[in-house]
Structure 1
Amino acid sequence: MPEVRNADWTPAERAALLRALSTPYPLTAPVFVHGDVYRHNLLADAAGRYAGVLDWGNAGWATLEHECAVLDDLEPALVRWGGRLDTGLLWRLRLELLLKVCGAGRISPNAVRKVLQHCT
């Protein structure tokens, strides 16, 4: 299990992290994805509505869950693709990402804890 400095994981949290990260998930059908769909690559109109995606340099074949795991706000993706998404895989991928970001000191362990609740 990845260690995150200054996280002070409880034994129950450590067990939940280990369980979530070691659960095998079958991959869903690959789709062509942007690969880097962070906020700075989203284009919006003057009203704030989605208008397009910039910077397709990381595009390729992956699962829709991989694409959605990095979104700042998951709600629109869950509304749009909820029936197609394996939410277990989505939350696991998001957990792995946030553990890395937390390990780099860019977010607090509490952000990881919130996602971990979706994985248990």
Structure 2
Amino acid sequence: MASNPTATLSKLLGSATIDDHEEVLRAANAILKKSKTDQDALRTRVIALLKLDRYADALRALDDGGDALSEICHVEKSYALYKTGQLEAAQKIFGEVTSVSRGLRHVAAQVAYRAENFEEAGEIYKQ
């Protein structure tokens, strides 16, 4: 294994197929055993957990990653909250973010729709 954990993760991700989420999760966990604060590995772990429909685990991983991880994973956190039915917590993220990406707007619209705020969902999609 290379001495640079991020390089190792990048190499794995470059050779992984879209269906290798378990393998990506194992690799990210292996990197995190060596470097608990590696932001790339932390984010990759969260995304792999989301792809595996392990939303509660993804939320725990985000919490374990601290504020630095939460600052770069707005979409991931709001999506995990949405999928676990925590709509108010997901909406809170939308209000806190200053730069809203297309992905975050999409999750915001999904949250509004699930909360039966259909007009709001439509308005978000029009933006």
Say yes or no: TM over 0.5. Answer: no
Interval containing the TM-score (normalised by the shorter chain): under 0.3
Task: Report which of the two has the higher share of strand.
Answer: 1
TM-score by length of 1: 0.27
TM-score by length of 2: 0.26
